[in-house]
Chains A and B, each alone.
Chain A
């Protein structure tokens, strides 16, 4: 499975990459803003998941989600915002724009795992949805 991490913080991208690799994503690509993410989406063969920050240079994550959701060829792509924005209005806006889930920073690995389980992504290892 392939995933895309879109965040202008290299540290955050590295943390998210490690979590995604831990749960079973074989390819994790990184982009530092929405424009770079769109370029990558054109180049990478059908990722299953994109984790998207809100505040980034060039193109923010909210606009990126809206653009992706206008394109039918990414209907299968699960979009999860991972951002410091924590106001209810922002969460509602992101969901209405087409985000499937929303995580408020700071996050922990179990938080990301459990959200991925909510998205029903196959082959997720170690989420609390699995029986011990």
Chain B
């Protein structure tokens, strides 16, 4: 891909999704846009040229979607889910035993493996939740991946990846060459399109647990800080935030306290009176 076309794609991604793509990620752009270009019968350069034309709006949308879709799998980073199951969720359930209400946000849900993993854990490991009002908000920038997530249909390769066989047979039904998650899980999850860098709709509400994993790595520090500030504003006082293994709030936002647990790290709201977004500029 020519340098000026790569620059156009990087600018588009920054403008539309707030994502900073390094100049050395040409291989990623080519890998992600190759299939879209193939659909149009074009090579990558010709595809970018068509996208840049005044009538290229739909192609630009698809380009942004293709470049913002993350790899995902059931129980991705299994230690994180063990931490949620063994430590975070039991504590939250004790704290919410009076209200019997629990809200969880999967803030970059991609094709749905993360929210469905959470739903399976909640149903299978915490049977007391049967009488609770619990729900998972699952959001992503890409409408295309949300449509797949909402359908709850996964290929055999996808259910093979990370999903315990015992949960596969209890929570899915085989359908042709793939598997569909049972409706009771889909009913617990609200799938909504949401751009983390744009104003958030009111349906987000307040949360007890937020999973914002492997998302912040794409943003520059000021954008990370803005997102963390808004996430913090949607967290109940004792809520937990879980980030990806390579992500942290340190040197980005001082409104969070880090708590190290056996399987990883969670972040809690630091007292509102003492928290201000840090002015330091660093790399998370």
Contact = CB atoms under 8 A, between A and B. Distances in A.
Interface of A: 86-88, 91-92, 94-95, 99, 101-104, 106-108, 110-111, 114-115, 117-118, 127-132
Contacts of B162: 114-115, 117-118, 128
Given A114-B73, A117-B78, A129-B79, A107 B160 contact: yes
A111 B165 CA distance: 12
B90 interface: no
Contacts of B174: 86-88
A80 B77 CA distance: 20
A95 B165 CA distance: 8
Given A114-B161, A132-B246, A88 B78 contact: no
Contacts of B73: 110, 114, 128
Contact of A103 (B77, B160, B246, B264): B160
Interface of B: 73, 75-79, 156-157, 160-162, 164-166, 168-169, 173-174, 244-246, 264
Contacts of A87: 174
Main secondary structure on chain A at its contact with chain B?
Answer: mixed
Contacts of B246: 131-132
Contacts, number: 65
A101 B78 CA distance: 15
Closest A-B pairs by Cβ, 3 of them: A131-B245, A102-B165, A114-B162
Given A107-B160, A128-B73, A128-B77, 20 more contacts: A87-B174, A88-B174, A91-B165, A95-B166, A95-B169, A101-B164, A101-B165, A102-B165, A104-B156, A108-B161, A110-B73, A110-B161, A111-B157, A114-B78, A114-B162, A117-B78, A128-B76, A128-B78, A128-B162, A131-B79
A132 B245 contact: yes
Most buried by A among B78, B174, B264: B78
19 contacts: A88-B174, A91-B168, A91-B169, A95-B165, A99-B165, A101-B165, A104-B156, A104-B160, A106-B157, A107-B160, A111-B157, A111-B160, A115-B162, A118-B162, A128-B78, A128-B162, A129-B79, A131-B77, A131-B79
Most buried by B among A101, A108, A111: A111
Contact of A108 (B157, B168, B169): B157
Contacts of A104: 156, 160
A118 B245 CA distance: 18
Nearest to A107: B160
Contacts of B169: 88, 91-92, 95
Nearest to A80: B165
A87 B79 CA distance: 29
A131 B156 CA distance: 26
B233 to A, nearest CB: 27
A54 B245 CA distance: 37
Contact of B78 (A86, A103, A107, A129): A129
Contacts of B76: 128
Contacts of B244: 132
Nearest to B160: A111
B17 to A, nearest CB: 22
